[in-house]
Every structure is written in structure tokens, then in C-alpha cells.
């Protein structure tokens, strides 16, 4: 645990004294557990009542103190904390995106009423460097349906060469799919930024109404309403299937409509 130095203690009923903290070096978009030790230096007992009462939480701030993520998940106290008592709390913390310098500000909150900082208490602010989610830019490609000359040629022309071993992410294609120039770079950039899954737009040969939502033409969308098709997935994340294509439908996914993979005509689908 990292010890906390002397800091102002509010006079009155609500007065936390921060004692120590620990957190593994954060990576963008990765969830880990922080531990915070503190003392009730006030005159009032801290009590949690399920999702109400006094809770522990945090904010992510930029280096100037501007909020990036204001409301972290709430963590109830393990028991009522009386004046003079010390307690250690474990908080689930997801590092922000993109990587960079941040402040992690721990505080207590009287749910539905106020943060302790708002009534004069000092939060525990820790300056942290959030690292990229991936430490190496190594992308493998799995082509469903076997090798295809147009797919092989498009992959050979990518800025980021494909690898066969020790990949940190796997992009899923189908035979005959043609990724555009810059495709591999965009996928790895997004994984570095903190996304576990990345999907791009699709351009099918002919008209395929089923694939209309994936035609793209826009920017980057972390709240895309459809599964990601032909996704790139971090090591350990497995694809599912949607409309007969490799897919991903889960958390920490990004749709990037700025580039589009050209698809061959799908078997059993006629142009309409």
C-alpha cells in the first residue's frame, strides 16, 4: 500500500483521514481493484444501507482537474464505521480511455445527497499514467473459409504486417473480404486506446439489405446498436456469429465507420 501524507482534515461530523492506497498500473479500458485505507476522523458514524447511505467511489479527472468520468461505481462500506475507526475498502476501477495522464480522485458520497468533498472534506487524489491497453502492436488474422487471392493481396498491402504467433489481437475475416488500406493500423490504434473489440463498416457486393446498418459513412461509435461484424478481438475474446459472419456483441466494443471492408456476395443472398 502507498502511504498518504498529511492533508487537511475537516472539522465537524464528516471528516475522512486518508491513510493508504494501492492499484496495479492502470491500462486504458481495463478493470482492476483498488484498495483504500482511511479513518473516520469526524464525530458521526458512517453507515451504508444497501445502495444508500455512505458509499465509497471515485472520479477520473484530467491533469487540470476537469472530470473525465465523474461517477465511478459505488462500493458500500463493509460495516458501520464509528468515529476513530479505520477501514479498508476495495473498489472496482476501470481505467479511462485513451491512455494518458490522469488524476484518480477517491471520495465518499452520502448517496442522493452529497459528495464529502462538497461539504468541505479532502478527497484522495492520485496522479497516474494510464498505459495503452496493448503493449505490442501484433495483429493476427483468421480468414473463415480459407485463403482467397484478393484477401491475401489486401492483407499483404497493410501498414501493420500480420503475425502468426504471439498476437495481442485477432481480426476475423471471411474468404474474399478485402480490407482497405490503413485497416490494420486503425484496429491496433483502437486496441491501444482501450477497446477490447473493434469493428469497421462493410460494403457488400450488390445490395444486401441485411447489412445496411454496417455500411458506415460516419465516425467512431462506442454505442453502436448492432453486433460488430468481422471484428478484431483482443487475445482471449472469442467471436460469435451474426448473419453468418464472425461477430462480437459485448462490452468495450467500438464501431469505426471511417473505413469499410468489401465483402463478396454471400452464399444464398441475391442482390435486391
Burial of 123 (0-12, 13-18, 19+ CB in 10 A): buried
* Predicted local confidence at residue 272, as pLDDT: 37
SS3 (DSSP) at 106: strand
Burial of 44 (0-12, 13-18, 19+ CB in 10 A): middle
- 47 in any annotated domain: yes
- 269 in any annotated domain: no
Instruction: Report the number of distinct structural domains present in the chain.
Output: 2
97 and 7 belong to one structural domain: yes
Q: Rounded distance, CA 244 to CA 201, Å?
A: 16
- 56 in any annotated domain: yes
- 6 in any annotated domain: yes
Distances (CA, A) of 177 to 203, 216, 262: 10, 16, 6
Looking up residue 16, the CATH number of its domain turns out to be: 2.60.40.10
Q: Which residues pair with 15 in a beta bridge?
A: none
144 and 120 belong to one structural domain: no
126 and 21 belong to one structural domain: yes
114 and 143 belong to one structural domain: no
144 and 125 belong to one structural domain: no
190 and 104 belong to one structural domain: no
CB distance 171 to 139 below 8 Å = yes
108 and 6 belong to one structural domain: yes
- Which pLDDT tens digits describe the chain residue by residue (272 residues)? 999 999 999 888 999 999 999 999 999 999 999 999 999 999 999 999 888 899 999 999 999 999 999 999 999 999 999 999 999 999 999 999 999 999 999 999 999 999 999 999 999 999 999 999 999 999 999 999 988 999 999 999 999 999 989 999 999 999 999 999 999 999 999 999 999 999 999 999 877 889 999 997 779 999 999 999 999 999 999 999 999 999 999 999 999 999 999 999 766 544 43
190 and 228 belong to one structural domain: yes
Q: Rounded distance, CA 34 to CA 211, Å?
A: 42
Listed residue (78, 105, 102, 108) closest to 90, CA to CA: 78
* Predicted local confidence at residue 268, as pLDDT: 52
147 and 30 belong to one structural domain: no
Q: Rounded distance, CA 25 to CA 107, Å?
A: 20
Q: Rounded distance, CA 267 to CA 272, Å?
A: 14
Of 108, 130, 152, which closes a domain?
A: 130
Q: Rounded distance, CA 59 to CA 57, Å?
A: 7
Of 105, 130, 155, which closes a domain?
A: 130
Q: Which residues pair with 262 in a beta bridge?
A: 178, 203
- 272 in any annotated domain: no
114 and 146 belong to one structural domain: no
Of 130, 153, 183, which closes a domain?
A: 130
- 70 in any annotated domain: yes
H-helix or E-strand containing 232?
Answer: strand 232-234
- 270 in any annotated domain: no
Q: What residues make up the domain containing 78?
A: 2-130
154 and 123 belong to one structural domain: no
117 and 157 belong to one structural domain: no
Amino acid at each position: 500500500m502507498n502511504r498518504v501524507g498529511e492533508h487537511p482534515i475537516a472539522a465537524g461530523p464528516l471528516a475522512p483521514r486518508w491513510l493508504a492506497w494501492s492499484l496495479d498500473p492502470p491500462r486504458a479500458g481495463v478493470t482492476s481493484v483498488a484498495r483504500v485505507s482511511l479513518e473516520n476522523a469526524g464525530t458521526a458514524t458512517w453507515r451504508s444501507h444497501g445502495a444508500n447511505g455512505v458509499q465509497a467511489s471515485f472520479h477520473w479527472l484530467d491533469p487540470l482537474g476537469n472530470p473525465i468520468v465523474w461517477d465511478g461505481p459505488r462500493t458500500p462500506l463493509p460495516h458501520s464505521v464509528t468515529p476513530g475507526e479505520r477501514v479498508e475498502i476495495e473498489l472496482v476501477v476501470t481505467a479511462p480511455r485513451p491512455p494518458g495522464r490522469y488524476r484518480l480522485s477517491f471520495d465518499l458520497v452520502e448517496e442522493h445527497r452529497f459528495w464529502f468533498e462538497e461539504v468541505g472534506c479532502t478527497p484522495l487524489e492520485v496522479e497516474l499514467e494510464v498505459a495503452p491497453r496493448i503493449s505490442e502492436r501484433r495483429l493476427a488474422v483468421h480468414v473463415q473459409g480459407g485463403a482467397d487471392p484478393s484477401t491475401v493481396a489486401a492483407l499483404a498491402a497493410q501498414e501493420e504486417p500480420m503475425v502468426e504467433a504471439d498476437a495481442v489481437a485477432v481480426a476475423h475475416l471471411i474468404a474474399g473480404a478485402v480490407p482497405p488500406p490503413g485497416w490494420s493500423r486503425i484496429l491496433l490504434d483502437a486496441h491501444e486506446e482501450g477497446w477490447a473489440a473493434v469493428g469497421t463498416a462493410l460494403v457488400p457486393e450488390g445490395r444486401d439489405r441485411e447489412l445496411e446498418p454496417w455500411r458506415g459513412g460516419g465516425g467512431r461509435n462506442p454505442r453502436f446498436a448492432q453486433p460488430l461484424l468481422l471484428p478484431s478481438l483482443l487475445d482471449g475474446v472469442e467471436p460469435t456469429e451474426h448473419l453468418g459472419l464472425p461477430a462480437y456483441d459485448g462490452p468495450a466494443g467500438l464501431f469505426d465507420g471511417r473505413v469499410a471492408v468489401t465483402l463478396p456476395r454471400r452464399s444464398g443472398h441475391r442482390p435486391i
